Amino acid sequence: QVQLVQSGPEVKKPGASVKVSCKPSGHTVTNYYINWVRHAPGQGLEWMGVINPSGDFATYGQKFQGRVTMTRDTSTGTVYMEIYSLRSQDTAVYYCARGEADSWGMDVWGQGTTVTVSS
Partner 1 sequence: SDELTQPPSVSVSPGQTARITCSGDALPKEYVYWYQKKAGQAPVMVIYKDTKRPSGIPERLSGSKTGTTVTLTISGVQAEDEADYYCQSADSSGTSPLFGGGTKLTVL
- Note the residues at the interface with partner 1 (CB under 8 A): 35, 37, 39, 44-47, 59, 61, 95, 97, 103-107, 109-112
Q: Buried b vs exposed e over 51-65: b needs ≥16 C-beta within 10 Å?
A: bbbebeebebeeebe
Contact present, 115 and 91 (Cβ < 8 Å): yes
| Comparison of 14 and 105: residue with beta carbon closer to partner 1 | 105
Report the nearest approach of partner 1 to the CB of residue 50 (Å).
8
Partners of 21 in beta bridges: 80
Report the nearest approach of partner 1 to the CB of residue 114 (Å).
10
Q: At residue 114, what is the residue type?
A: T
| Comparison of 35 and 117: residue with beta carbon closer to partner 1 | 35
Report the nearest approach of partner 1 to the CB of residue 108 (Å).
8
Contact present, 83 and 57 (Cβ < 8 Å): no
